[in-house]
Structure 1
């Protein structure tokens, strides 16, 4: 196993992290998988309060003499915090589930923007974190994120975080927080943990035949999954890549790859292969947006790159999943950023290097992603997750 150094505390973290959201249904098999991963060098396990039974299972396995060999990362859901006492209520429940008295890497789960963070500040989260850190119950504090680059950078700057977790893969290089967000966080000294390296398996199971052909005919035989992981581990800014491993075969393959990769090891030929695959995938998208953000800010608040990213994902992830992501990323924040806010002023279009007819495309996004369900769904999620306070 290769290890990367956390620049905050200079400790070694395994390049491969074990994502615990999608455990196998057979708990005995899960125990075998976790122990095998630990014995072969994996020392970072990522779970969350809202992952069904995940913390309990992980805690049960680690209590058998493995706790001190690993780093546990788990998360607090902001929507469940209504008063100061809720911080402890959730945290102490997590400690009990995990059968531990401290958390190595604690995250604010799916922190969407500074508005939600400011709500948590009013409820006393700064004082609560300070207390837990002083007692040694939280070793490192961070946040997980799904959304655009600009808001990610704002969140990085709003608090002295000690790490962050975000979606990133070769398809999302210029989407969501993207490469610029990764580099920005790393420049601030934050360890960067990456989730969705395979887009939930879509970069393996949903690839067009042309893209599969590129990998099959490459100069070296590697699976699409291995190529995707190697692309991530080639980047020095990335500390840990999480994989939701639920079979021994997958665990063994990922550990093998993680044990072989080096930073900045890609050749020009490697980059050309990814260029070919992206070119093929780009043909499936509806709007040729590169996420450069030159169109921003929109005077009406539309998050143009994020709207196009969710719209384009319909071809890979399907309409239902893309709409869900669209609502989460553009509709539930204190100030909505959805496509139908566009008034067709076209100020953005003069700045677009791709010469996209942005106002016309946003109309199509609105028609496809904002059906009769959009406003009720947005209202429900905002109220449930307290994003409107």
Structure 2
């Protein structure tokens, strides 16, 4: 494992961090504790020491807390978690969430604590008005917060204002080879590093799209350049090529994914990609942009939908219909809508309530995109035909 130093604290952080949002879970969303424990223990043994979770990740903090406590891992790893600031109307709310997070994670302190999903300076100003700056000072003096930062999902133009609004210890941004100018982007990465901040990278593989969701032409382009390197490794290596990136988070849900990423992280050196390899990635970006229609990462922040629509599933099927053909997209759409059940939920069930839009870190106009899904994957009478077919097949 390669390590990169946090210039603020001096901590040596593993170049590969463990993003806990996608811990193994059942179809109902309940975390598989046994499988998750095996993954976490293997990750620690392989040298990963940075674990990222959040209050809003269902069951996530509790699971990690149990695993860390019963395996005596607290002094071997750095724990990062996040405050759900959108739910905070008073300073008492902030304190209540913080206390609950300590109880969930079974710890007295957090190595890295983030304001979760900040999209603009106004959100930070609201917290300042509640007294969060003084609150952070008290927590740091008490040793309950070691490093304070924020995760960002706003515009590139707003990022510098937020960076300069407080004496942050670190920040977390979305960055990958198809999101160079999206959200904070490369400009934000370089700005934060120039301020002496460690930068944690999230969505390096765009929710898996850059691992197993690439168009076949893009996969072939990678193979022509280097047949021994998997698409996921290309994505991770591209980020580690940036000396400004401190930790790259990966949501590894299987031991196979963990093994592959750790092997890649052993060579996580800055400025290691050749000009030919960088040109290959540029070609893949062009191919990807032609096929990818909705920039959904499958984070599920939009869920649950009040109408029961599987929004990420709809978008995955829609993108697949362009990447792998309409037939494949239709198959995925039938599955994600629960078409064979007694209560299927189609894209056409959207009532444009907007509940999903305000929670989307990618700022997708979800109701409008669901209309596009309906137009492409739900032809007239399609639900009735599927329902009739299900009845005939019992």
Tell me what 1:261 maps to: 268
Shift of the alpha carbon at 1:163? 0.5
Q: Is the 8 A contact 1:326 1:369 kept in 2?
A: no
Shift of the alpha carbon at 1:178? 0.9
Q: Is the 8 A contact 2:193 2:199 kept in 1?
A: yes
> How many aligned residue pairs are there?
312
Q: Is the 8 A contact 1:107 1:142 kept in 2?
A: yes
Deviations 1:283-302 (A, max 9, x none): 33689xxxxxxxxxxxxxxx
TM-score between the two structures when normalised by the length of structure 1: 0.75
Shift of the alpha carbon at 1:329? 6.2
User: RMSD in angstroms over aligned alpha carbons?
Assistant: 2.7
Deviations 1:280-331 (A, max 9, x none): 22333689xxxxxxxxxxxxxxxxxxxxxxx9xx8579998xx956874698
Q: Is the 8 A contact 1:197 1:228 kept in 2?
A: yes
Q: Is the 8 A contact 2:153 2:362 kept in 1?
A: no
Tell me what 1:16 maps to: 16
Tell me what 1:34 maps to: 40
> Which one of 213, 221, 224 corresponds to residue 206 of structure 1?
213
Write the distance in 1 (CA, Å) between the matches of 2:366 and 2:72. Answer: 53
Tell me what 2:337 maps to: none
Instruction: Tell me, yes or no, if structure 1 residue 44 matches structure 2 residue 56.
Output: no
Instruction: Tell me, yes or no, if structure 1 residue 240 matches structure 2 residue 247.
Output: yes
Write the distance in 2 (CA, Å) between the matches of 1:366 and 1:22. Answer: 22
Deviations 1:167-226 (A, max 9, x none): 110000122211111111111111100111111011123211110101122235111000
Instruction: Tell me, yes or no, if structure 1 residue 271 matches structure 2 residue 272.
Output: no
Write the distance in 2 (CA, Å) between the matches of 1:82 and 1:316. Answer: 41
Q: Which consecutive residues of structure 2, in runs of 5 or more, have no partner in the other structure?
A: 26-31, 295-314, 323-332, 334-346, 348-353, 372-394
Q: Is the 8 A contact 1:204 1:225 kept in 2?
A: yes
Q: Is the 8 A contact 2:15 2:248 kept in 1?
A: yes
5 Å matches for 1:42-81?
Answer: 42-63=48-69, 64-81=71-88
Q: Is the 8 A contact 1:21 1:54 kept in 2?
A: yes
SS where residue 158 of structure 2 aligns?
helix
5 Å matches for 1:166-205?
Answer: 166-205=173-212
Tell me what 2:6 maps to: 6
Q: Which runs of 4+ in 1 moved over 2 A?
A: 281-287, 314-320, 323-331, 365-371
SS where residue 22 of structure 2 aligns?
coil
Write the distance in 2 (CA, Å) between the matches of 1:82 and 1:367. Answer: 28
SS where residue 283 of structure 1 aligns?
helix
Instruction: Tell me, yes or no, if structure 1 residue 160 matches structure 2 residue 177.
Output: no
Write the distance in 1 (CA, Å) between the matches of 2:369 and 2:288. Answer: 21
Write the distance in 2 (CA, Å) between the matches of 1:317 and 1:49. Answer: 34
TM-score between the two structures when normalised by the length of structure 2: 0.74
Shift of the alpha carbon at 1:231? 0.2
Deviations 1:101-151 (A, max 9, x none): 000000000011111111111111011000000000000000001121011
Write the distance in 1 (CA, Å) between the matches of 2:127 and 2:358. Answer: 24
Write the distance in 2 (CA, Å) between the matches of 1:316 and 1:136. Answer: 48
5 Å matches for 1:270-289?
Answer: 270-284=277-291
Q: Which consecutive residues of structure 1, in runs of 5 or more, have no partner in the other structure?
A: 288-310, 332-337, 339-364, 372-389
